[in-house]
Amino acid sequence: MKNIIVSFPSEIDNEFEKIHQLLMDDTIDFFHLRKPDFDYFQFKEFIKLIDVDLHYKIVIHSHYSLIEEFDLAGINLNRKALSQLAYADEVDKCFIQPLVLNNTRIEVNRIIPNMVTFSAHSFAEIKNLNFDTDYVFLSPIFDSISKDEYLSKFGLNDLDKELKTCNTNVVALGGVTLDHKEVLKETGFYGMARLGDFWN
């Protein structure tokens, strides 16, 4: 079962020390870097402060063109990112569109990321995706730890049924703690992602 950590959305004390510790932990598969208030240059500088030998575990949630500058694990898309998506047959070959769907593959400035993931909030959203993904986050599976009033709309019995008929690797996010590992595995999740549980 994949073990994933999502960054705290804002800056926190001793953040880089904690990031280096988690990236060096062999039990952590990927680190999703999400800083929604960072502009391109802040985001780039943030990545530069992380040991380059550990970049292979980092998946970025914005400023996707940085995969040209850093050897990262991949990118994570969401509904907002899809609004910027162009289709290969509609793109002028002389013009580089930042985010392009070419058949079922996502390209960033004509580069195919090592990995593409997606953040979803329903199975309908997952089933309607028209591009290849390595895995998809589904949230919130439990009541969120980091966001007040962000409550789960899922029951584990319903999730079990949906996951059995889903052809996509689904990772549980939202209120997830280490104590949930076995029940999430039994329910059929591909992995678990922690945010509030880890950073708190």
Domain map (residue ranges) of the chain: 2-199
Tell me the CB-side half-sphere exposure of residue 165, using CA atoms within 13 A.
7
Tens of pLDDT along the chain (200 residues) come to 999 999 999 999 999 999 999 999 999 999 999 999 999 999 999 999 999 999 999 999 999 999 999 999 999 999 999 988 888 877 665 556 689 999 999 999 889 999 999 999 999 999 999 999 999 999 999 988 777 777 888 988 899 999 999 999 999 999 999 999 999 999 999 999 999 999 98
* pTM, rounded to two decimals: 0.94
pLDDT of residue 126: 97
The fold adopted by the segment(s) 2-199 is TIM Barrel (3.20.20)
